[in-house]
């Protein structure tokens, strides 16, 4: 199930966020159970004297996974670009999950500023993972701006609703067969992650479904199983749905009694 993003091969298609866990030990246990290849992290200001963020960064480094900083909470191009530059300096990676929020209730991306921020950051050497909608025209613009990965939402961030528009996600997969695609946001259950992988997506990114579970490590393990099952199902070339019943047992040679 290896996937390649900007030339980096990942062993697992599961990407996990690091926010909202009840304790550092719980976060570590969840990551170990998940087998996730990527941890998303938000840039946080730290006290010049206490440097509270250092313990968190050391814990993330100990997970031995690829770090994907994000621009969570940014609402403008300038804010997102500035945050990305700070994140590159702190975390030492050109990877950036680009979020430019346009609506505070749904946390829907502002796709106009998203494209502009992606263009600025790509030109500056960043490898951009844009959190976007499932709109094909926006996706085209992001690719033209320099992105080599697309991250359409399944549902609003933290909603746990799963895949609100499977038709649009299926269309995006068909329209961009060679572009790495990640379903990002809205995943609430392992079955949602499996469904995304069955559509042929390359990875799923989630946070709240694991961090807020009663047993985060157990839920993380369930997601690990789900993405493997979904990827295997897609690779197996599943049957197409039918409107009518079809007998699974052949009738040829069946005895007929008069």
Q: Tell whether residue 158 is among the known ligand binding residues.
A: yes
Q: Tell whether residue 70 is among the known ligand binding residues.
A: no
Q: Would you tell me how many other CB atoms lie within 10 Å of the CB of residue 11?
A: 12
Q: Tell whether residue 164 is among the known ligand binding residues.
A: no
Distance CA 165, CA 154 (A): 7
Q: At what angle do helices 77-91 and 111-123 cross, to 10 degrees?
A: 40
Candidates 66, 97, 212, 254; catalytic one: 97
Torsion angles phi and psi, residue 51, rounded to 5: 50, 55
Terminal alpha carbon distance of the chain = 55
Q: Tell whether residue 230 is among the known ligand binding residues.
A: no
Taking alpha carbons only, the member of 164, 167, 171 closest to residue 150 is 171
Distance CA 63, CA 157 (A): 24
Q: Would you tell me how many other CB atoms lie within 10 Å of the CB of residue 134?
A: 21
Q: Is 78 marked active-site?
A: no
Structure tokens at 191: 């079955």
Mark the binding-site residues for 1-deoxy-D-xylulose 5-phosphate, compressed into ranges: 158, 185-186, 207-208
Active site members: 97
Mark the binding-site residues, compressed into ranges: 158, 185-186, 207-208
């Amino acid at each position: 199930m290896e996937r390649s993003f900007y030339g980096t091969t990942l062993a697992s298609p599961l990407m996990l966020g690091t926010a909202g866990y009840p304790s550092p030990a719980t976060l570590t246990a969840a990551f170990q159970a998940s087998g996730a290849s990527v941890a998303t992290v938000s840039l946080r200001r730290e006290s010049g004297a206490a440097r509270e963020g250092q313990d968190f960064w050391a814990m993330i480094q100990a997970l031995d996974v690829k770090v994907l900083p994000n621009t969570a909470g940014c609402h403008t191009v300038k804010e997102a670009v500035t945050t990305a530059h700070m994140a590159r300096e702190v975390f030492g990676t050109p990877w950036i999950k680009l979020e430019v929020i346009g609506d505070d209730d749904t946390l829907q991306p502002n796709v106009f500023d998203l494209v502009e921020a992606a263009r600025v950051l790509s030109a500056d050497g960043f490898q951009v993972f844009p959190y976007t909608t499932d709109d094909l025209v926006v996706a085209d613009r992001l690719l033209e701006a320099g992105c080599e990965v697309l991250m359409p939402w399944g549902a609003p961030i933290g909603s746990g609703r799963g895949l609100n528009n499977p038709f649009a996600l299926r269309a995006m997969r068909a329209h961009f067969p060679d572009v790495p695609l990640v379903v990002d946001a809205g995943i609430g259950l392992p079955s949602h992650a499996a469904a995304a992988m069955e559509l042929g997506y390359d990875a799923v990114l989630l946070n709240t479904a694991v961090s807020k579970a009663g047993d985060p490590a157990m839920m993380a393990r369930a997601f690990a199983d789900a993405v493997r099952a979904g990827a295997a199902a897609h690779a197996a070339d599943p049957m197409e749905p039918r409107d009518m019943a079809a007998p699974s047992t052949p009738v040829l040679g069946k005895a007929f009694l008069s």
